Amino acid sequence: MEARCNALIFVGILATLASLQNAEPASDLDQRNPGTATLTRLEDAFATDPGNRALARRLAETYLDLERPGLAVAVLRSGDPSIMQDPIIAHRMAQAYEATGRVLDAYATARYAQERCVSTLHQEANAVSTEATESVEPACTRSQLAVLDVHSRVLQTLVAWGVSDPLRDPRTSRAYEAQMRVATVAMAGSPR
């Protein structure tokens, strides 16, 4: 009796292995969706140009919109390290880390994004004062800095509270609400 059970289990395991080997890889995304084709083109373009900041930003934002933060982290880490000098790309990385539950990494990356933004704002101010007339889109604006500041403060609060799963912990929404109130009060008191 025991030998028959073992034989049946063995046959079952062999059948499962055979079906797995013959199966084609299946995409997690719906191939009929036009957005999937766009995503594929973005992925291919970034693979051939891993230093392209615009592609990196769009690809990371697309993955975050699709609720695939792990893919956003992977693609940004696979790119040229220089892309992380862009404060908004660093911010997207912080958001992806937060969504994957890596709160300490998210906080450190958010602080880095904030510092990069401040640095680029100072560089742009110096360029204006030396009358550089080149028309270049700013790497970071004051309104983006405000967003980065709020995100950094939220993450600082989450770290202080010991939040390990920001997506499921109700304290996350409380931290965001509190920081948004602070930002709203600060903006109301600022001169126009």
Predicted local confidence at residue 135, as pLDDT:
47
Output the average pLDDT for the chain.
Answer: 82
- Convert the pLDDT of each residue in 74-124 to its tens digit: 999 999 999 999 999 999 999 999 999 999 999 999 999 999 999 999 887
Phi and psi at residue 34, to the nearest 5° = -60, -25
Predicted local confidence at residue 25, as pLDDT:
42
- Convert the pLDDT of each residue in 133-180 to its tens digit: 454 556 899 999 999 999 999 999 999 999 989 989 999 999 999 888
- Number of domains composing the chain: 1
Rounded-to-10 torsion of CA 54, 84, 76, 145: -70
- Does residue 8 lie in a domain region? no
CATH code of the domain containing 148:
1.25.40
Residue range of the domain that includes 164 = 35-134+141-189
- Does residue 10 lie in a domain region? no
- Does residue 19 lie in a domain region? no
- Does residue 96 lie in a domain region? yes
